[in-house]
Structure 1
């Protein structure tokens, strides 16, 4: 007959547990070892200076201003639009919620390091057998803990932490992109307004030329051909106005969406016709090495590389046995009133291991798989560093060359205006045919429109420089993920689930 040991305090029986279980508990509490490589940020080829380093229009001694739009354009309307974008843009809000999701994934990974099962259970039953009624009542608390002997859970925390940081970098990338889109859309609106002004001025000039041709025709000095040519040019120019008005309204609609609003009249925000924002004499661009910490897409991929490095250790841990400890404490009785009294106490303690020995190479293949994924991300990282440098160089050269183009087009536009004045005067005095007037009016309309477009292109290209350099994300000012979620969205989430109340405050 097996003798039973009665223990009033069940947990005092830990002293009788096998030595192996005690060792496992100690090893688990101390963290065990860590399998897999310890991540080191990779080196990437970066040039030491820009191709156009010597240009007087770029300043490499200063980093990009986080509020580049204020420093570059000093446009109050643009400043207000960008401030509204930070509060209302839905794409930005979606990116903020992805950071909150990644934060909760990190919290789950951290929680998995502790006892994975902690169950409170209870039961009550009543049965009849051989005219005898049996009752049984039970309450128990069960605990099971897989120890992190090989660092698998800690590597999962590393993965989740790196992916959380990657999600924040992704948010920064969306922020940089959205700010640039709003700025460029606003500049295109002002550019289109300027082109409309040019078209209407040209209509006035062509009306004057038509009136001169009509007067000369009525006086019998010229044939009807001059008048018909004047009417053709005038109406073609008038026809360009609706096309520009379509473009203007479409840009306003795009701006409304970027502001998180349905398309509507934005006159109260944009005001009347405004000037195209002007670029400063010089802009701060920093050095190419700054791209590695400045560009959100580079930072995001580097963090995903770190996350994948940790997954190699997780895969290697599968090659070794998993050790667990646990136990249960409770009470069983034939009557509910006898629970937690005397002989009703129950408990058990255990230590166990599982080792997947015969896996036909699957576990080692998984290690190789994770390592290959790491190497792929490493190559992707090196590639994106190269692309980031090319992106920045392309934006800088476009900005610098658009300045040169603007200077030449301004000279051409001034010359075309003088040509219109001269040809009109000479035609009025009968010195030249009307074809010359038509040619100068047509050329002037094209040159003035090209000048307006070029002024806008300089500003748009400047925005692209700041976008390529990753400027603007610092405006979030180290806010926590929950703080990035707009206030109304936080309130909506708190109303739907009480579990957000301590997270979204």
Structure 2
């Protein structure tokens, strides 16, 4: 805590301190310097693997800095961009993460309040009427020597004592933070708050990654469903042709059975694909914070993102310490645990607190506006722990154990982050090679279809050969569709492993927009819930 001192008054170019104030000012200055210098928090430290990060990622062939902002634009798919924008505006998981950030921000503010004096306004009116032969009145009469109510000078002591007092004041309380307990508690809460913000960014990346993954799943399932329908049409035609040839004795019953078995197997996959597609579309609608009707208005029938397997510039592993929100959050929680140790150690030492009241007091209400009626009460309280059954020592041991836990979690998070980046880079390169091989296979299958079509048109080849070639092409295209999805997900995994800011940070964190519900409807829902129990 940085203390600031008010400038002393000057007269004639010389510094003039108020009467009896020089010593107080020096004491206050010493206290502020001491409070700013004392802290029992351990010095910053990181686990050994964090200090020995490799210089480069294995498998990163493309040099350069990592670019994360709206990286999905490389797919050249405006529908995907629209879906991402919709999810950022209405996702429930993000709204929940925002609420957690707001809670941490409030907790940090609560902890920081301990660094400042507490002020409280008070207004009291006291009306007291007591018998004179009891309490203070009886003691006063005895001291004055009037046992029968008569006092010296002929003054008659009253039978009752009645008085009214009005007062206005400001109460204050402040604990001087000599040993940094409140300051370290505030720093720990601040680090936790910043960690919660990193958690929000991690949740934001997680939601976007799930959205993009689900979108490509829908693209793949829609394409494979269409290919399955086309394959069924080809097999139905192939079955009819084989039946005709079987009736003429040109093929055996086993060949006819094989064709029908192939047809039934393909027909059986179609309901499964449609179920998977319905599920994926429903999950995307939930990510968008709505129902499937909202999804139908955004997703057209044809979705065609461009699959890309180009390598990604990953930068260096050291960038992950501030680039990945989960790594950053783990580091901040390590700092919070370090500051907590300092706060718990400070509880072993004496504490000095000041409290008091200053205000005005009068027997009449209008006297409260007379400044000559001022009063003050000041109290200094110095306390030191002597015996508390080991509570403070155990709190310190607990803080050290929590620091060790946070250090292990931080080291594991950093090592895991480096591994995930290297694994994702390798997977992207492998999926790119696989996709290229399937594209080549698709081109060969297309060439075979074209050849069989020309042979059939010229009367050299049979129609059966053309249908078989077409069926092979459709199977290869279905496999290629899955490979395109896997290639997109591999690129997604690289960006998720590298972290960074995928979108511009929001100007403010806002939670869910709530809609008022009629009290009768809410009560009916509650009654229905109770009835169900």
TM-score tier after normalising by the smaller chain length? 0.7 to 0.9
Q: 2:66 aligns with which of 63, 66, 73?
A: 63
Paired residues in the alignment total: 464
Change (3 A) 1:119 1:24: farther
Q: CA deviation at 1:232?
A: 3.1
Change (3 A) 1:474 1:231: closer
Q: Secondary structure of 1:352's match? A: strand
The within-5 A match list for 1:105-504 is: 105-116=107-118, 118-129=120-131, 132=160, 134-139=162-167, 140-223=169-252, 225-264=254-293, 266-339=295-368, 345-413=374-442, 446-473=475-502, 475-476=504-505, 479=507, 483-485=508-510, 488=513
- CA-based RMSD of the aligned residues comes to 3.5
Kindly provide the CA deviation profile for residues 318-372 of structure 1, in whole angstroms up to 9, marking residues without a partner as x. Answer: 1111101222124454544555659864322222211112234432332233123
Greater C-alpha Rg: 2
Q: Secondary structure of 1:270's match? A: coil
Contact 2:344 2:392 in 1 (8 A): yes
Q: Secondary structure of 1:266's match? A: helix
Q: 2:38 aligns with which of 34, 38, 44?
A: 34
Change (3 A) 1:430 1:46: same
Q: CA deviation at 1:387?
A: 0.6
Q: CA deviation at 1:176?
A: 1.0
Change (3 A) 1:231 1:340: same
- Structure 2 CA distance, aligned partners of 1:188 and 1:440? 28
Q: Secondary structure of 1:123's match? A: strand
Contact 1:206 1:234 in 2 (8 A): yes
Unaligned runs of 5+ in 2: 1-17, 133-158, 517-533
- Structure 2 CA distance, aligned partners of 1:362 and 1:15? 46
Q: CA deviation at 1:276?
A: 4.5
- Structure 1 CA distance, aligned partners of 2:161 and 2:41? 63
Q: CA deviation at 1:414?
A: 5.0
- Structure 1 CA distance, aligned partners of 2:309 and 2:476? 24
What is the TM-score when the length of structure 2 is the normalising length?
0.77
Kindly provide the CA deviation profile for residues 80-114 of structure 1, in whole angstroms up to 9, marking residues without a partner as x. Answer: 11111221112112212222222222222222211
Contact 1:114 1:145 in 2 (8 A): yes
Kindly provide the CA deviation profile for residues 168-196 of structure 1, in whole angstroms up to 9, marking residues without a partner as x. Answer: 11111011111111111101110111111
Q: Which stretch of the first structure deviates more once superposed, 136-145 or 451-460?
A: 136-145
Contact 2:189 2:336 in 1 (8 A): yes
- Structure 2 CA distance, aligned partners of 1:80 and 1:476? 18
Contact 2:309 2:431 in 1 (8 A): no
Contact 2:95 2:512 in 1 (8 A): no
Q: Which residue of 2 aligns with 1:77?
A: 79
Contact 1:176 1:470 in 2 (8 A): yes
Contact 1:138 1:332 in 2 (8 A): yes
Q: Secondary structure of 2:348's match? A: coil
What is the TM-score when the length of structure 1 is the normalising length?
0.81
